[in-house]
Amino acid sequence: MSRLRVNAFTLSLDGYGAGPDQSLANPLGVGGENLHKWMIKTRSFHQMIGKDGGTTDTDNEFAVSSFENVGAWILGRNMFAPSRGPWPDDNWKGWWGPNPPYHVPTFILTHHKRAPIEMEGGTTFYFVTDGIRSALEQAKAAADGKDVRVGGGISTVRQYLQESLIDEMHLVVSPLLLGSGEHLFAGLDMLKLGYRCTGQVATADACHVMVGRV
């Protein structure tokens, strides 16, 4: 059965998944890139950006497994573009260049209509304007029995958590403080929503925490 997953989703020690003031120059907000030291060094990430080398340690194993059995993705508008409001034009096609890392149908939550964009490597971006449940239905249909991965950002993950729609999460706690930004758990009672911690693994650069719905 298709599951809705969050994988390799990195948080600061004080619970922020992105820094403040996202912009074209700071896609993850000010200081947000520092969260991902654990992943940037891995062979999986190196291969993603066309480089050789990289570590093959526990962090890499988590990075590799995060892409396994994924048949579709769901992203929030901010994960796709720095702009807000109506699309200024059709030129922006994501942060990742002509060959994004998804390689499957990818559904973007937005309030503003836009035609699908077919990219290299099997990624097609679809823009969903009628809510998170519609996006999930479309993504599950496209995934054809495989899992659907929610890539973020924070607001998108929170919306699915509030409806108890996420089946499992792999969160990565990075040993740094951001102080401000977008907080994942603010105002959410995860126990009442039906979630429990199911495991954890510590490495030099991160603590990998598994959360499941019970």
What is the count of structural domains for the chain? Answer: 1
**Residue 148's pLDDT band (cuts 50, 70, 90):** very high
Contacts with 121 (C-beta within 8 Å, 6 or more apart), sequence order: 99, 100, 103
Q: What is the CATH number of the domain that holds 82?
A: 3.40.430.10
Q: Which helix (H) or strand (E) holds 54?
A: none
Cα 38 to Cα 83: distance, rounded to the nearest angstrom: 28
Cβ–Cβ < 8 Å for 75, 106: yes
* DSSP letter (8 states) at residue 42: B
Predicted pLDDT at 106: 98
Alpha carbons 67 and 73: distance in angstroms, whole number? 10
Kindly tell me if the per-residue pLDDT of 22 is higher than 80.
no
pTM of the model: 0.94
Determine which helix (DSSP H) or strand (DSSP E) holds 165, and give its type and residue range: none
Is 79 within the bounds of a domain?
yes
Residue carrying the six token digits 């062979």:
43
Token pair for 109: 């939550």
Answer yes or no: is 142 within a domain: yes
147 vs 35, more confident: 147
27 assigned to some structural domain: yes
Looking at the predicted structure, is the pLDDT value of residue 142 above 80? yes
Q: What are 101-117's pLDDT values in tens digits?
A: 999 999 999 999 999 99
The pLDDT assigned to 150 comes to 98
pLDDT for 39 equals 94
Q: For residue 24, name the pLDDT band (cuts at 50, 70, 90).
A: confident
> Residue range 131-154: average pLDDT?
97
Residue-number span of the structural domain to which 118 is assigned:
4-86+99-213
Residue 157 lies in a domain: yes
Q: Is 180 within a domain?
A: yes
User: Is the residue at 179 inside a domain?
Assistant: yes
In a domain, 91, yes or no: no
Give pLDDT tens digits for 48-59: 888 899 999 999
pLDDT computed for residue 33 by the predictor: 85
Mean pLDDT value of segment 1-23:
91
Render pLDDT for 156-196 as a digit per residue (tens, 0 to 9).
999 999 999 999 999 999 999 999 888 999 999 999 999 99
Q: pLDDT tens digits, residue range 54-105?
A: 999 999 999 999 999 999 999 999 899 988 899 999 999 999 999 999 999 9
Q: Tell me how crowded residue 104 is: count the other CB atoms within 10 A of its CB.
A: 20
**pLDDT for res 30:** 80
Q: How confident is the model at residue 16 (pLDDT cuts 50, 70, 90)?
A: very high
- Where residue 31 falls among pLDDT bands split at 50, 70, 90? confident
Q: What residue spans of the chain are helical by DSSP H?
A: 37-40, 43-48, 58-65, 77-80, 132-143, 154-162
Q: Is residue 92 part of a domain?
A: no
Q: What is the mean pLDDT of the chain?
A: 94
Burial classification of residue 17, based on how many CB atoms lie within 10 Å of its CB (0-12 exposed, 13-18 middle, 19 or more buried): buried
